[in-house]
Amino acid sequence: MSAAQRRRLNPLSQETESDDSGILNECVLLLVFESIKWDLQVLCLTASLNRKLRAIAKRLLWRKLCVYRAPRMVSALVNGSPNGRIGGGWDALAKLMFFCCGCDSTRNFKLSRPSPGHFAGASRFSKTSGRSFLTKKCRADLLFVSDPCEHPVGDKEDDLGIYRGVFRGFLRSNTRACLIGRQVAFDDRVRCPYCGTRVWSMTAARLVPKSAARRLGSRDGRLEYFVCVNGHLHGTCWLVPLSSDEENCEEVEEEEDEDGGDFNGEAYKKHEKVTNGTGRRSSLMF
């Protein structure tokens, strides 16, 4: 059989081979990112190069990054299935892991000025912390919540704490059922900074337990957080300065946590300028 006849019989093979060549070859991309230990900056830049690479990143690379950086947390979120789906997509989960979304004033939490988003230097997500954000009726839900990212505001004010989290299987969660059962309306001003969907204010829904303030190192009534339809949580609080005795107690408590992983982002601090002051992404792409 001649070469021309083979091409006519199998026209798709040549196109597939050409599409999978070089940088668009998924096996090559996986080997490259494994060799650089899933560098977040390089992955952001790769996803922003063109439409095909962004599609590959969205379908494959962000999931691999999340599994590499936080295997226990991801395993818990997908019930142990490495190919399981995540509400909002793996790109949204990756952004939640590594990006502090910043904040602006809301109805229930007033600021003198907005606090911009930035890549987090280091993050720790804990399901023990997550339980502190669940009411008694919702304690069967699984929620990972980060330690608050501290943002100094001014000499006369307490530091601002910004935190984030994610539910497992939010569509089937007791928290969502409770929100729907109470007919809680979506907040008309706030959107999820990680997937862009609509959110419920847990403060407006009166679903903020007192244990959340204690866990954050805040006071009751001095925090607010939102949960989106995909189960992403983000919120703010005023942090109370701790005495030396309280700091020692906090260290002991953290050692007993069931955590989901520590993510070191020191290498990405120089890229904080990718935000425009509102917590929204600009040049680097998730």
Task: Tell me the average pLDDT across 114-123.
Answer: 87
At 83, which amino acid appears?
A: N
Whether 114 is in a domain gets the answer yes
- Is 254 among the domain residues? no
Distance CA 111, CA 152 (A): 12
Which residue range is the domain that position 134 belongs to? Answer: 101-239
CA-wise closest residue to 38 among 97, 89, 88: 97
- Asked, for residue 86, whether it belongs to a domain, the answer is no
What is the Cα–Cα distance from 276 to 30, expressed in whole angstroms? 31
**Cα distance between residue 39 and residue 125, in whole Å:** 20
Task: Give the distance, in angstroms, between the CA of residue 101 and the centroid of all CA atoms in the same chain.
Answer: 9
pLDDT at 271: 38
Q: Is residue 174 part of a domain?
A: yes
pTM of the full structure: 0.79
The pLDDT-based confidence of 283 (bands split at 50, 70, 90) is very low
The answer, yes or no, to whether residue 49 has pLDDT greater than 70, is yes
Distances from the Cα of 68 to the Cαs of 27, 224, 274, in angstroms? 16, 31, 24
pLDDT band for position 113 (50/70/90)? confident
Question: What percent of the chain has a predicted confidence (pLDDT) above 70?
Answer: 73
User: In the block, which residue shows the tokens 């003198």?
Assistant: 112
pLDDT tens-digit series, residues 128-149: 999 999 999 999 999 999 999 9
Amino acid 22: pLDDT: 61
- What's the token pair of residue 62? 């962000």
Residue 60 lies in a domain: no
Domains contained in the chain, number? 1
Give domain status of residue 65, yes or no.
no
The answer as to whether 170 is a domain residue is yes
Per-residue pLDDT of 221-246, as tens digits, reads 789 999 999 999 999 999 987 654 44
Are the C-beta atoms of 265 and 96 separated by less than 8 Å?
no
pLDDT at 282 over 70: no
- Helix/strand/coil for 95: helix
**Is 40 inside any structural domain?**
no
